[in-house]
């Protein structure tokens, strides 16, 4: 996710694989298809307990520009509408790319004249939690490159992230590693048994945090499509010396799938990505969201290898990531396309050219970059979510 108003997507090389039908049939994965600030959205009733609350059946996740301002304007945490079930504070960033030392501060008053005091912010966190909401620290973003190359950096990551969580009384962690934070070393070919230090150390660090805070610890991830779905075609540098970041999130997701609360891939600022139909899909349409999400819910052979399958994630651990407006990022779709995506994935109706491998009524919900840009756009994204799920 970008600090600036938008970020142009990086176009990816077009790669080929074996026919998906043969690959998925061989791996046993195919399932038969089943039939300006504006006015805030109206509050949704919540029956969840205030502490340690589970997510609602369908959840809305949004990033709040907390440490910086941009063209969308600063929004106080207390002013975030009740529509948002998980609020990711953007961003905690490292002192250097390899230090593991994560810092988080509220936006400077010179940049955000209406910023709250630290005490007001902490009180707002408690108030949101009393409503059954989750407030997380999001680490990374476009500018926050994090490479845990050593055990020392891993341990510093754990201690510094813990300090942020403890100071503000937060519910957990969102991993938004972008750019060059994650990559796969040459020769590290099995995503189920990774050897690359930046991957192994990240997995270890997150498991340590989960162990420290227990079952109520909320863990979410927001990788880009390049780091996840592209793994169907390429994983790491391969023998041809390709981009070592291709599919680099897969070992992290897989190792932490039992600890993971929610995965919401950024289906924006993306180049064309091949789906399980072996067709390239372009962002900016319902088909793109359906195809990318279906890959997570169906599973896929990594780099086309039927002996090395990334297993499907449960529907309740997956949300669709979209930009809130045209200002927020490339690949924005209007509410009608958002609803087509949800209809197709959860009801197997209103589908376009891509047919998902089943009906997924338990799909958790939606994520957006960002709450600030949605406010700027008269809360169109949140209002549509509330209307769709009731």
- Could you list the active site residues? 178
> How far apart (Å, rounded) are the C-alpha atoms in residues 48 and 129?
10
Cβ–Cβ < 8 Å for 294, 276: yes
**What are the backbone dihedrals phi and psi of residue 220, each rounded to the nearest 5 degrees, phi first?**
-125, 160
Residue 301 Cα distances to 28, 157, 250, angstroms: 11, 32, 11
| CA 64 – CA 87 distance, rounded (Å) | 7
Structure tokens at 42: 């109206």
Q: Is there a contact between 370 and 28 (Cβ–Cβ < 8 Å)?
A: no
Sort strands 273-274 and 280-281 into parallel, antiparallel or unpaired. Answer: antiparallel
Residues 6+ away with beta carbon under 8 Å from 321: 222, 264, 265, 266, 267, 268, 366, 367, 368, 369
Partners of residue 137 on adjacent β-strands: 89, 173
- Decide: helix, strand or coil at residue 193: coil
Look up residue 355 and give its two tokens: 């047919």
Count Cα neighbours of 272 within 13 Å in the Cβ-side half-sphere: 10
In angstroms, the CA 390 to CA 44 distance is: 8
Q: Do residues 139 and 146 touch, judged by C-beta distance below 8 A?
A: yes
Nearest to 66 by CA among 34, 17, 5, 108: 108
- Tokens representing residue 222 in the block: 């927001």
Structure tokens belonging to residue 76: 């106080």
């Amino acid at each position: 996710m970008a600090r600036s108003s938008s970020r142009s997507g990086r176009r990816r090389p077009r790669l080929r694989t074996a026919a998906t039908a043969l690959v998925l049939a061989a791996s046993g994965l195919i399932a038969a298809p089943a039939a300006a600030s504006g006015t805030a959205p109206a509050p949704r009733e919540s029956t969840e307990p205030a502490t340690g609350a589970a997510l609602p059946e369908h959840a809305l996740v949004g990033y709040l520009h907390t440490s910086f301002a941009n063209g969308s304007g600063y929004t106080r945490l207390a002013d975030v509408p009740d529509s948002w079930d998980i609020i990711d504070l953007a961003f905690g960033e490292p002192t250097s790319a390899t230090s593991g030392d994560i810092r988080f501060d509220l936006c400077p008053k010179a940049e955000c004249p209406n910023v709250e005091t630290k005490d007001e912010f902490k009180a707002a966190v408690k108030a949101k939690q009393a409503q059954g909401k989750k407030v997380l620290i999001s680490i990374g973003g476009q500018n926050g490159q994090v490479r845990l190359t050593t055990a020392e950096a891993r341990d510093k990551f754990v201690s510094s992230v813990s300090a942020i969580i403890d100071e503000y009384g937060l519910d957990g962690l969102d991993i938004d590693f972008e750019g060059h934070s994650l990559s796969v070393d040459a020769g590290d070919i099995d995503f189920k048994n990774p050897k690359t230090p930046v991957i192994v150390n990240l997995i270890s660090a997150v498991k340590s945090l989960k162990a420290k805070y227990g079952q109520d610890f909320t863990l979410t991830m927001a990788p880009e499509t390049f780091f996840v779905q592209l793994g169907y075609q390429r994983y790491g540098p391969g023998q041809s010396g390709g981009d070592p970041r291709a599919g680099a999130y897969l070992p992290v997701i897989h190792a932490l799938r039992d600890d993971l609360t929610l995965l919401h891939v950024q289906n924006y600022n993306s180049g064309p990505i091949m789906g399980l139909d072996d067709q390239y899909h372009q962002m900016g349409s319902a088909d793109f969201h359906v195809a990318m999400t279906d890959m997570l819910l169906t599973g896929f052979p990594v780099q086309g290898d039927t002996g090395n399958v990334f297993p499907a994630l449960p529907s309740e651990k997956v949300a669709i990531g979209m930009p809130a407006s045209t200002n927020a990022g490339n690949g924005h779709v209007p509410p009608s396309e958002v609803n087509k995506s949800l209809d197709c994935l959860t009801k197997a109706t209103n589908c376009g050219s891509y047919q998902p491998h089943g009906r997924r009524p338990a799909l958790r919900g939606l994520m957006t970059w960002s709450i600030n840009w949605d406010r700027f756009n008269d809360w169109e994204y949140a209002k549509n979510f509330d209307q769709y799920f009731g």
